[in-house]
Every structure is written in structure tokens, then in C-alpha cells.
Amino acid sequence: MMMRAFLFLLVGIVPLKAQILEPAKWSTTTSKSSINAGEEVDLIFNVKIDADWYLYSSEFPCEDGPIKTTFNFQPNAGYQLVGGIVPINPVDKYDDIFECDVKIFKKTAQFIQKVKILSTSAVIKGDYEYQVCTEVDGRCVPGDGEFSFTNFQVNGDASTSQNNDTNGEIKQDEAVVQTTTNSDNKGPYIDESILDGENTLSDESFLGYLVFAFLLGLTSLVTPCVFPMIPMTVTFFLKEGQSRSTGVRKAVAFGVSIILIYTLAGTVFAFALGAEGLNALATHWAPNLFVFVIFIVFALSFLGLFEINAPHQLVNRVDQQAEKGGWIGVFFMAATLVLVSFSCTIPIVGNVVVLAAGGHVMKPILAMFFYALAFAIPFTLFAIFPEWIKGLPKSGGWLNSVKVTLGFLELALCLKFFSIADQAYHWGLLDRDTNLTIWIVVFVLLGFYFLGKIRLPHDSPVEKVTVGRLFLAIATFSFVVYLIPGLWGAPLKALAGYIPPKYTLDFDLVSEEGTGTVYAGCEQPKYAEFLHLPHGLNGYFDYDQALACARQQNKPLFIDFTGHGCTNCREMEAVVWSDPQVLKRLQNDYVIVALYVDDKTELPESEWFTSSYDGKVKKTLGKQNADLQIANLENNAQPFYVLVGEDEKVLAWPYGYDKNPEKFVRFLDSGVKKYRELYR
């Protein structure tokens, strides 16, 4: 009998032990690893919950329902609690068993308790109780555990650190919560478990650059330096008397060589500077003023004042290699084409690289590839089908007209680069009306040039105005008429990314200035004397200020990562933000903060910090904003729109460059909906 009991007990040990369930695993951390006495620190409780199980939160209205998660702190003279425990983003659930509404966590849970450290002898210990249930068969498991926070160091005693209030506590709904992804970093972060739908970031901006580069590659073909090279190229491939199959292979190799040479230049350029260097190129005063001057020089060259040529010795040496024939000769023939076309293609290639360099290393590389692809395809086709050469128009005065037209356009485009530096450093030298005045004069002169009223060096006489020239003149003068109302405040949406912002106008008849008061009870915004929001919107330019106001107003925060040199940002503001439905939501549903990532305003030394991302000290407003975006959201593109809740969790997938107002409205509405689910 005793033996049977012993065997029963022995056999029963394993199944009995196998039934012990632990669906919730607890861990603790703190928001700071080192703290001075008198300061506050967040105690963070993290819970990992098994699949198909859920944990009841610490607060919900159902009093006679399931066991709530509770925390008991052992009293200690070294610290005091500040407010109550704060559950981070539990979800609502109707409990069928208890017939009441509860709040639960799935997969992960987090609770935060703020405490004030009073002395170096602070000892924070306690215990917790909780209950988890499974959705599979309805089983529930109560649990408990103990905690002890020993992973932070206290420096110094607090002699006069007591709060002025009675008990040093704040209300629970005023407690400031921290991020869960990196407790040492402030700022927004994405928790994919709370986001619905797919990532809606648009690639339109990126594809737009590639299309732009491809079109400029085609434009280069009709410049005087390049067009005459087409028959020369065909002659090179015909003179060897090779078979057609060999000629086709060499023609393809010739096109590939052109692409390699141009793309290699873009690759070296991109990786020599890197993402941070390319962003500096796009916004720093030195490269922008350099490009401004270079564009003027190229414009004067296109207009016929002088010629820009590659060094003759270099051209001759490369040409000698091309004459050797064979596959090496094909490559050097391509190099000769690139060098001979230097004076006409380099200004355009420079446009591709500079305009593509907005912070992405891959943009200039791929932009150069697509430019070279468009540039190489016609040469390759003419080399394969040399009989096509008979159908081309003969070189003549029309080619110089193309060159002169590009010169006028260069004069207009150069102001963009001066404007970027002017806005980033707040010089106030090139405002909107000055820029528009110069453009009006330039395009009026271009219109008269199309009509033959202006003749420049190397131009052939215009004995009669062709239909083509007439239509070009009509288009140019129509553009001038479009520009003129902009001098008095017309929005000029089509040009929003290429001219200074509207607030720089000296005389604005349709002003959209804000009221000057952001929100009742909130602080006046920092940097508002030189930073502005469009369409009369009120908001902030400092993340901490805006987040505090959003919490006070019980509204989600709309973060606009933008830049002075961001063309697409201005287009989004002009085309999308101006939509009545979008504007209404921005005005009423959100607190807005515009974070300029390229602003050069240097901050007081007390506000400097060392980035956890790259270890560099961030001293300027722009670098701090850029670091906030990169370190927390792993993104450095602009525009970049982020909707954030009270605890800094992102409410919906961030939104990029997409000029569809309806999609933007859905984006804003999804953020408001998620905010209400989580915080109300």
C-alpha cells in the first residue's frame, strides 16, 4: 500500500509540476542610471505576456471584477512617491464574466511610478500582485512578485529639495511618462503593436528625383556640346568595318561605360560626404553660396560670355586611348564623350547632384545612374542603328538657342541656393518679393529672346519668328503674369518649393498671420521671432514646449520634421496643408510643432547634448531636431510627419511626401482616433 502511494506520488510529480503556469515575465529598469539627490526618476515595470494571454491593468472602473495589478512600496526615508502608478496604453475590453469594462495588456505591458530621490541612502523595494487570463479556454492565473531597484546611482544629498506643495506629489494624470524603447532618450518612438494598417510612407519624392534626373539626361542631348557628338560616335563605330553583332556588343558596352563613368562620379560624391555631409551640402552657407556662384558662372557661359572647357591635355590623352580600338577603346571613347561635353553637361549634372542631396546617400547615386541612362540610350541606339543619323536635324543656330535658354533658367535657379542659406542663417537678404522681381525680369527677357528681340553672342539672326518660338514666348509671358500677383501675397502654390516663404513678403495684401496666442495656458513659443508656420497656423518650434502643451490641452501632437532647404516641405504646405479639410484638422485637433532640421541657430551651452546615435555634441537647433528624428524614428528625410500621444508613442504610421489631401486627412483622422482609444 505504501509502495503504491510512493509510486503515485513519484509519477504525479511531473504532471503536477508541468501545470504551473507563468504567462507573465516581469522586469524592472529606471529612466536614469545616475541621479542627483533631489531629482526625480521613473521606475519602469516591464511585463512580457505569452501569446493568447492578457494582463489586467491597474486602473479600470469595474470594482467587483477581476484582480487589478497593484504595487506596494516599502516606506523608506530616502525617497517619496510622486503621484500614482501609471499604466502605459492599456486597451479597453468588455469582460463577459464580470459584465463590466476593463483595461488589459497583450504581448507587453508597462507601468511607471515616478519617485523623488531624497538621499543617497534611498532603498526602493516592494511587491506586486496581478492576474492574467487566456483567451483560449478562459483560464486565469493570479501572480505576485517582489521588486528592488538597484540599477541607478544617487549622487549627493538633498538639503533643500522638498517641493513647495504639501506632500510633494502630483496628480496621476499629470505624471510625465517616458519612452519604452530607450529610457535615456526623449522623443517620439514607434510601437508597431499599437499601429493599424501598413506603412504609408510614399516613395513619390524619391521617384520624382529619378524622373527629374532622367529628363535632364535627355535635355543634355540637345546642347551644343553634346548634339554634334552623336555623328562622331556613329563614325567611330563604323570605321572599323566590324560585323553587325560585334558592333552591337560594342555599342552596348559604350552605353554601359557612359553610365559607369557618371554613376561612379555620383557614388564617390555621395560616399565621400555621407548622409550628414549631403545634408550639410544642402543647407550650409558655404556650399550653397558656392553653387549659387557656380550657377551664375555657368549661366554666363551658356549666354555666350565665355566658354568652359575641360583641360585640353586631359581630353587629348583620353582621346589617344580611344584611338587604340578594341574594348578599351570603347571605354575611352565614352570617357572622351563625357569630357568633350563637359561645358554643357556639368552644369546640368551639378543640378542633379545638388538637388538630390537632401540627406539620402542613395539619392545622388541613383540620380546619376538615371541621368547617365537617359544620356547613354540615344548614343547606344545610334551606334547600333547608324542609318538613323540621316534623320537628325543639322547642327546650327537652334542649338545655341537651347544653350541660351538654359542660361536664363540657370539665372533663375541660382536664387534657390542663396535663399536656402539666407533662411537657414536668418540673414534676411533675399525675401520673397526680391526673388520674384528678379524672376519676372529674367523671364521677360527670355520671352523677348524667343521673339528674336534680343540677340546674344553666337546666335544666328532670327529673320522670322517660327511657330515654336511663338508658343515658347506665350508660355514664358504667361508665367510672368502668374508671378506678378505673388508680389502682393498670392500663394503661387506651383512654386512653393523654389521661392522664399510667404512670411518674408514686405507687402502682403492677403496676410495669414496667426493670432500670436498658441493655446490658453500654454507657453509662448520659442524661436517664433524667426520661425513661422504657414496659413496662419499657431504652434511651436521646440519639441518639449509642444509636448507639454499637447498634454495640457489633451490633444495629440503633430510633428513636422521640415527644413529651410526642403522643396517638398514647401510644396506639401502649399498644396496639402492649404486644403480646407486638412487646415481645419490642424487648427482644431492637434498641437503643432515644426522642427527645422537645418536651422543653424546655435543654442546656449547649457542646452547642448551628446547624441546617443553618433556620439557627437549637438549645438544648434537644427542638429538637435535632426538627432531627435534619426535617433528615435530612424529616419532623416523631410518632410516627415509624425502624430504622437501623451506618452510619446507614435499614433499612426509617419507620413512622407504625398500631395494627396484626402490621404493626409485620413492620416490625421487615424491619429485622432487612436489617441481617443488610448487616452480617453
Instruction: Copy the grid coordinates of residue 203.
Output: 516613395
Domain hosting residue 164, numbered range: 24-178
Beta bridge partners of 82: 114
Q: When comparing pLDDT for 266 and 67, which is higher? A: 67
Q: Are residues 274 and 366 in the same domain?
A: yes
In-domain check, residue 147 = yes
Q: Are residues 160 and 283 in the same domain?
A: no
Query: Cα-flanking dihedrals φ and ψ of residue 390, to 5°?
Result: -70, -20
The three-point CA angle 431-576-476 to 5° equals: 55
List, for residues 243-254, the tens digit of each pLDDT value: 667 767 777 888
List, for residues 8-66, the tens digit of each pLDDT value: 334 343 343 334 678 899 989 888 877 888 888 889 999 999 888 899 998 887 777 78
Name which of 118, 48, 348, 103 is nearest 221 in CA terms. Answer: 348
Cβ(333)–Cβ(248) below 8 Å: no
Q: Are residues 290 and 383 in the same domain?
A: yes
Q: Are residues 174 and 317 in the same domain?
A: no
Q: Residue 267: what pLDDT?
A: 67
The pLDDT confidence band at residue 120, using thresholds 50, 70 and 90, is confident
58 burial class (0-12, 13-18, 19+ CB within 10 angstroms)? buried
> What distance lies between CA 179 and its chain's CA centroid?
21
In-domain check, residue 378 = yes
Whether residue 676 is predicted with pLDDT greater than 70 in this model: the reply is: yes
Looking at the structure of the chain, the number of domains it has is 3
Cell numbers 522670322 correspond to 464
Beta bridge partners of 141: 132
Q: Residue 301: what pLDDT?
A: 81
The pLDDT confidence band at residue 233, using thresholds 50, 70 and 90, is low
Please state whether the peptide bond connecting residue 639 to the residue before it is cis, i.e. omega within 30 degrees of 0: yes
The pLDDT confidence band at residue 238, using thresholds 50, 70 and 90, is low
State the chain's maximal CA–CA distance in angstroms: 125
Q: Are residues 39 and 169 in the same domain?
A: yes
Q: Are residues 652 and 548 in the same domain?
A: yes
Q: Are residues 158 and 120 in the same domain?
A: yes
Q: How far is CA 108 from CA 95, 149, 193, in A?
A: 20, 20, 9
Q: When comparing pLDDT for 564 and 138, which is higher? A: 564
Q: Residue 186: what pLDDT?
A: 65
Last residue of a domain, one of 342, 363, 396: 396
Last residue of a domain, one of 396, 422, 440: 396
Whether residue 440 is predicted with pLDDT greater than 90 in this model: the reply is: yes
Cell numbers 501598413 correspond to 198
In-domain check, residue 468 = no
Q: Residue 185: what pLDDT?
A: 47
Cα 183 to Cα 189: distance, rounded to the nearest angstrom: 11
Cβ(433)–Cβ(507) below 8 Å: yes
Cα 363 to Cα 356: distance, rounded to the nearest angstrom: 6
**R_g over Cα of the chain:** 33
In-domain check, residue 477 = no
Q: Are residues 35 and 113 in the same domain?
A: yes
Region 425-442 average pLDDT: 90
The predicted model scores a pTM of: 0.53
Cβ(302)–Cβ(401) below 8 Å: no
Q: When comparing pLDDT for 478 and 530, which is higher? A: 478
Q: Residue 590: what pLDDT?
A: 95
Q: Which residues contact 466 (CB under 8 A, 6 or more apart)?
A: none
The pLDDT confidence band at residue 540, using thresholds 50, 70 and 90, is very high
Whether residue 315 is predicted with pLDDT greater than 70 in this model: the reply is: no
Which segment of 71-75, 98-102, 190-194, 531-535 scores lowest on mean pLDDT?
A: 190-194
Neighbours of 413 (CB within 10 A): 19
Q: Residue 670: what pLDDT?
A: 93
Name which of 626, 615, 664 is nearest 187 in CA terms. Answer: 626
Last residue of a domain, one of 379, 396, 413: 396
Q: Are residues 256 and 381 in the same domain?
A: yes
Q: Mean pLDDT score of the chain, rounded to an integer?
A: 76
User: What does 178-214 look like in DSSP terms, one character per residue?
Assistant: --SS-TT--S-B--GGG--S------HHHHHHHHHHH
Which segment of 36-40, 208-212, 224-228, 400-404 scores lowest on mean pLDDT?
A: 224-228
Q: Residue 514: what pLDDT?
A: 47
In-domain check, residue 426 = no
Torsion, Cα 386 390 392 397, to 10 degrees, reads 120
Q: Are residues 541 and 630 in the same domain?
A: yes
The enclosing domain of 651 has a CATH number of 3.40.30.10
The enclosing domain of 121 has a CATH number of 2.60.40.1250
List, for residues 334-372, the tens digit of each pLDDT value: 776 776 565 455 545 555 555 554 445 566 777 778 888
In-domain check, residue 463 = no
Which segment of 288-292, 554-558, 588-592 scores lowest on mean pLDDT?
A: 288-292
Q: Are residues 291 and 170 in the same domain?
A: no
Q: Are residues 289 and 156 in the same domain?
A: no
Cβ(258)–Cβ(334) below 8 Å: yes
Name which of 153, 134, 412 is nearest 299 in CA terms. Answer: 412
Q: What sign has the CA pseudo-torsion 86, 88, 89, 95? A: negative
% of residues, the chain, pLDDT over 70: 71
Whether residue 93 is predicted with pLDDT greater than 60 in this model: the reply is: yes
In-domain check, residue 457 = no
Region 87-109 average pLDDT: 83
User: What does 473-528 look like in DSSP terms, one character per residue?
Assistant: HHHHHHHHHHHGGGGGT---GGGTTTS--GGG-SS-TT-----S--STTSPPPTTT
Cβ(334)–Cβ(254) below 8 Å: yes
Whether residue 165 is predicted with pLDDT greater than 50 in this model: the reply is: no
In-domain check, residue 232 = yes
